[in-house]
């Protein structure tokens, strides 16, 4: 009971300390009075939605329609892999998005806990806004850098393919922070003269493919492909773990054929990238930190659960009466 009370209090404080909070559910009809919208675009376009407001996008069996943002908002979904990890959400449906376009007027927008639908490379964030944050999201296609932008932060995401993409080298995104992400494919925004200093920091990631970046800092990453191509333009390539021998020195180590993650049996798609218990590499990252996604100050959160209280189990009797009421059991936690 104390745990439920604490979670309820924290949720109340979070809601009251925020700006407006709107619900998005594509299985319900829009009701502006109740602050419920069927689509993200409707909520964005609503006259009562102001810069900095929060859109809580609920899990659904249906994908959400595309949206174009022209004001800074906070979009929060329930997370992903919700049936694979314990104590996630009582409703295990994710919020599957199609394309979300962040135009320049949406500078400072935050996307968190969202899943991007499969089926098209267009189903991804398209970022033309400065200082956007994409955090704890599941992406089946690369984030599209669609204009000259600066200050993008990509933190704690799971990429089923490549991480970033552009359609023309005229798009000169700069000062990108890329931290604590799992990338099954490549991180390969080209390190050419027109792309100098495009990353401020690339650290604490697990990357399965090739890497081609210019970065001020490239450290504490785990690079899983011993045959991959690494073209890293940086003066600070430090304390990375490599399956191959592409670079050494400065604390960089080759783990070769050793099983650094332990057995994947019984573990979730993202949980399988935690270092094995007792690993000799547990403090091999920069400044003695754990390399890979669970190290550093922005450690990966399983299933991309957002930092708000959640109910992860809800049980209710099948019947009730006026005298006894309805017996309900709730399990909740504060994230």
Q: Residues 127-177: pLDDT tens digits?
A: 999 999 999 999 999 999 988 899 999 999 999 999 998 866 677 788 999
DSSP 187: B
| Candidate from 191-195, 235-239, 270-274 with smallest mean pLDDT | 191-195
What is the reported pLDDT for 265? 84
What is the reported pLDDT for 2? 40
Cβ-based neighbours of 47, under 8 Å, separated by 6 or more: none
What is the Cα–Cα distance from 177 to 213, expressed in whole angstroms?
12
Lookup: tokens for 254: 């080759």
**Averaged pLDDT, 214-233:** 94
Kindly indicate the confidence band of residue 257, based on its pLDDT and cuts at 50, 70 and 90.
Answer: low
The overall average pLDDT reported for the chain is 87
pLDDT > 80? residue 4: no
What is the Cα–Cα distance from 140 to 80, expressed in whole angstroms?
12
What is the Cα–Cα distance from 221 to 241, expressed in whole angstroms?
6
| Candidate from 164-173, 208-217, 291-300 with smallest mean pLDDT | 164-173
**Averaged pLDDT, 219-242:** 95
pLDDT > 70? residue 229: yes
With DSSP H G I counted as helix, E B as strand and the rest as coil, what are the percentages for the chain, rounded to 5? 10, 30, 60
321: left (phi over 0), alpha (psi -120 to 50) or beta: beta
The alpha helices in the chain, defined as continuous H runs, are 2-17, 40-45
pLDDT tens profile 297-326: 999 999 999 986 655 555 555 666 666 566
| Candidate from 164-178, 215-229, 320-334 with smallest mean pLDDT | 320-334
CA angle 166, 163, 181 (to 5 degrees): 150
Cβ-based neighbours of 29, under 8 Å, separated by 6 or more: 36, 38
Kindly indicate the confidence band of residue 335, based on its pLDDT and cuts at 50, 70 and 90.
Answer: low
Residue 13: CA count within 13 A, CB half-sphere: 10
3-class DSSP state of 127: strand
3-class DSSP state of 42: helix
pLDDT > 80? residue 232: yes
> Between 43 and 87, whose confidence is greater?
43
pTM for this one? 0.88
pLDDT tens profile 27-58: 999 999 999 999 999 999 999 999 999 999 99
What is the reported pLDDT for 5? 40
What is the Cα–Cα distance from 229 to 188, expressed in whole angstroms?
10
What is the reported pLDDT for 292? 98
Q: Where are the domains of the chain?
A: 2-333
What is the Cα–Cα distance from 174 to 166, expressed in whole angstroms?
13
Kindly indicate the confidence band of residue 183, based on its pLDDT and cuts at 50, 70 and 90.
Answer: very high
What is the reported pLDDT for 330? 59
CA-based nearest residue to 208, from 188, 189, 190: 188
Lookup: tokens for 10: 């924290």
What is the Cα–Cα distance from 269 to 302, expressed in whole angstroms?
9
What is the Cα–Cα distance from 8 to 2, expressed in whole angstroms?
10
CA-based nearest residue to 157, from 120, 200, 206: 206
Q: Residues, the chain, total?
A: 335
CATH 3.40.50 fits 2-333, yes or no: no
Lookup: tokens for 247: 């670079």
What is the reported pLDDT for 329? 63
Kindly indicate the confidence band of residue 11, based on its pLDDT and cuts at 50, 70 and 90.
Answer: very low
What is the reported pLDDT for 148? 85
What is the Cα–Cα distance from 319 to 136, expressed in whole angstroms?
38
pLDDT tens profile 98-131: 999 999 999 999 999 999 988 888 999 999 999 9
Lookup: tokens for 237: 């390539």
Q: Cα-flanking dihedrals φ and ψ of residue 11, to 5°?
A: -65, -45
What is the Cα–Cα distance from 318 to 211, expressed in whole angstroms?
55
CB 77 within 8 A of CB 306: yes
What is the Cα–Cα distance from 7 to 199, expressed in whole angstroms?
37
- With a pLDDT cut of 70, the percent of the chain lying above it is 82
């Amino acid at each position: 009971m104390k745990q439920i009370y604490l979670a309820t209090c924290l949720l109340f404080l979070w809601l009251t300390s925020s700006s407006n909070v709107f619900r998005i559910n594509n299985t319900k009809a829009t009701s502006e009075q109740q602050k419920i919208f069927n689509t993200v675009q409707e909520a964005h376009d609503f006259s009562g939605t102001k810069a900095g407001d929060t859109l809580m996008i609920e899990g659904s069996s249906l994908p959400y329609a595309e949206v174009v943002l022209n004001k800074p908002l906070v979009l929060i979904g329930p997370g992903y892999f919700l049936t694979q990890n314990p104590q996630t959400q009582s409703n295990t449906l994710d919020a599957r998005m199609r394309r979300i376009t962040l135009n320049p007027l949406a500078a400072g927008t935050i996307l968190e806990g969202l899943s991007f639908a499969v089926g098209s490379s267009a189903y991804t964030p398209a970022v033309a806004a400065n200082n956007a944050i994409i955090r704890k999201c599941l992406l089946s296609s690369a984030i599209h850098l669609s204009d000259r932008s600066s200050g993008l932060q990509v933190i704690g995401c799971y990429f089923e393919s490549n991480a970033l993409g552009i359609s023309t080298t005229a798009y000169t995104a700069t000062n990108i922070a890329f931290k604590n992400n799992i990338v099954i494919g490549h991180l390969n925004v080209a390190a050419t003269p027109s792309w100098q200093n495009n990353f401020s920091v690339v650290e604490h990631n697990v990357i399965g493919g090739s890497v081609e970046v210019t970065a001020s800092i490239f450290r504490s990453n785990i690079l899983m492909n011993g045959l991959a191509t690494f073209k890293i333009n940086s003066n600070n390539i430090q304390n990375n773990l490599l399956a191959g021998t592409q670079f050494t020195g400065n604390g960089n180590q080759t783990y070769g054929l050793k099983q650094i993650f332990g057995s994947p049996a019984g573990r979730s798609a993202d949980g399988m990238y935690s270092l094995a218990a007792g690993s000799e590499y547990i403090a091999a990252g920069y400044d003695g930190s754990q390399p890979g996604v669970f190290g550093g100050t922005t450690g990966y959160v399983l299933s991309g659960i957002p930092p708000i209280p959640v109910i992860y189990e809800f049980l209710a009797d099948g019947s009730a009466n006026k005298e006894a009421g309805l017996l309900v059991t709730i399990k909740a936690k504060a994230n």
